């Protein structure tokens, strides 16, 4: 087999660069600060609850590649008036035992004390403290996020739209896992990145 000694190193370099890409570089970085006191603002509106089609997923990466995962069980609601979020009565609660990943072995590791430690911290919550309207469908959502026993206020961009009686919220952003006390480094020659991408694809309809 004839090898092109000029093209071959270039191909190897290209593959190396691709494997080192950080998925978080393509998403917005959540603004993180200390948890804030929540002022009740239960604006008149309709409470919408998540439908089974809703998804909360994540992507983590390391030097050699990335892994996708998410949560199979979570509940939540938000208040809507005239097709837009109203007030701050919006909350999500995740059952951390429902964590899954694209590899069965990794699913178990994520549930262990190295990462989520689900036996000690079985629930993660996001309780909205403020929603700012940036344009017709674009919002900045802020809320107290309690993960791994650490609570901080995070802000991220979201798109809100209505189709019939369904309202959807979509967002993709990244957080630093170390902000929430998840510090497992990984192997010395294959370190895990600090940034984790979170994807929200939530659909809700009027509920009790």
Going by their DSSP bridges, the two strands 166-176 and 28-29 should be labelled as: parallel
Spatial distance between the Cα atoms of 197 and 25, rounded to a whole number of angstroms:
9
Q: What is the CA radius of gyration of the chain?
A: 20
The domains located in the chain, with CATH, are 23-206 (2.40.128.110)
Q: What pLDDT sits at residue 20?
A: 63
Q: Give residue-wise pLDDT tens across range 170-202.
A: 999 999 999 999 999 998 888 999 999 999 999
Average pLDDT estimate for 6-10? 47
Q: Give residue-wise pLDDT tens across range 29-88.
A: 999 999 999 887 767 789 999 999 999 999 999 988 999 999 999 999 999 888 788 888
Closest CA to 179 of 146, 205, 202: 146
């Amino acid at each position: 087999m004839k090898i092109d000694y000029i093209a071959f190193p270039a191909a190897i370099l290209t593959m190396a660069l691709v494997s080192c890409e950080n998925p978080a570089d393509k998403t917005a970085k959540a603004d993180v600060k200390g948890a804030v006191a929540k002022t009740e603002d239960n604006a008149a509106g309709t409470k919408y609850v998540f439908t089974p089609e809703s998804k909360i997923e994540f992507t983590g990466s390391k030097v050699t590649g990335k892994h996708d995962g998410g949560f199979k069980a979570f509940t939540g609601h938000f208040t809507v008036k005239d097709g837009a979020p109203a007030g701050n009565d919006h909350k999500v609660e995740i059952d951390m035992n429902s964590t899954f990943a694209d590899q069965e072995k990794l699913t178990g590791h994520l549930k262990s004390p190295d990462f989520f430690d689900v036996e000690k911290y079985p629930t993660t919550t996001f309780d909205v403290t403020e929603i700012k309207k940036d344009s017709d469908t674009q919002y900045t959502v802020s809320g107290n996020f309690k993960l791994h026993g650490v609570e901080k206020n995070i802000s991220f961009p979201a798109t809100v739209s209505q189709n019939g009686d369904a309202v959807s919220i979509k967002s993709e952003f990244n957080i630093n896992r170390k902000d929430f006390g998840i510090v497992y480094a990984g192997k010395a020659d294959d370190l895990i990145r600090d940034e984790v991408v979170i994807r929200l694809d939530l659909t809700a309809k009027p509920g009790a």
